[in-house]
Amino acid sequence: MKISSPAFSENDVIPDKFTKDNANISPPLHIEDIPSRAKSLALVVEDPDAPSGTFHHWVLFNMSPRTTDIKENSVPVIATQGKNDFGEMEYGGPKPPSGEHHYFFNVYALDTVLSCPRGTDSNTLEQEMKGHIVDQASLMGRYAKH
């Protein structure tokens, strides 16, 4: 499985418009080689460089396994939004307190549809996904405080 974005390449700087310093819209994402036995997809965007530990910027789950493109500033029609660490049920772009941080767009192919409700946080989602991940992929972008 692979995840990429037409907006930035692996290890590239995430453009300003996808950050909380600017328009704070989600970047377009492309997912390929999704396993045929996947029943759903999950997406977790996280920053492991946050001072208080890994900070989750976007939590999406129960996406259709046929989702190959997530358009800019949108959520797939078949998807459930979880709660990010800003306390919001939406995308929250990069906004590091200092220095450059690394942001991982992690996609997971799952062998089940999760019974988690809308607003589930990333820790609960990770517990629910245990034993159900059939494949995963990651795209890393960088962003520094302006």
Maximal CA-CA distance, the chain: 43
The three-point CA angle 50-51-52 to 5° equals 95
User: pTM for the complete prediction?
Assistant: 0.97
**What is the structure's pLDDT at 61?**
98
Q: How confident is the model at residue 58 (pLDDT cuts 50, 70, 90)?
A: very high
Instruction: Give me the torsion for CA of 113, 118, 119, 120, rounded to 10°.
Output: -20
Percent share of the chain, pLDDT over 70: 100
β-sheet bridge partners, residue 140:
104
β-sheet bridge partners, residue 38:
none
The whole-angstrom separation of Cα 30 and Cα 86 is 25
Task: Tell me the pLDDT tens digit for each residue of 13-55.
Answer: 999 999 999 999 999 999 999 999 999 999 999 999 999 999 9
CB atoms within 10 A of CB 106: 15
**What is the structure's pLDDT at 108?**
98
The rounded mean pLDDT for the chain is 97
Task: Tell me the pLDDT tens digit for each residue of 87-139.
Answer: 999 999 999 999 999 999 999 999 999 999 999 999 999 999 999 999 999 99
**Checking DSSP bridges between strand 55-63 and strand 80-81, what pairing results, if any?**
antiparallel
Which of 55, 59, 76 has the alpha carbon at shortest distance from 118? Answer: 59
CATH number given to 2-144: 3.90.280.10
Q: Any idea where the domains of the chain sit in the sequence?
A: 2-144
Residue 146 has pLDDT above 90, yes or no: no
Which of 65, 6, 68 has the alpha carbon at shortest distance from 31? Answer: 68
β-sheet bridge partners, residue 63:
41
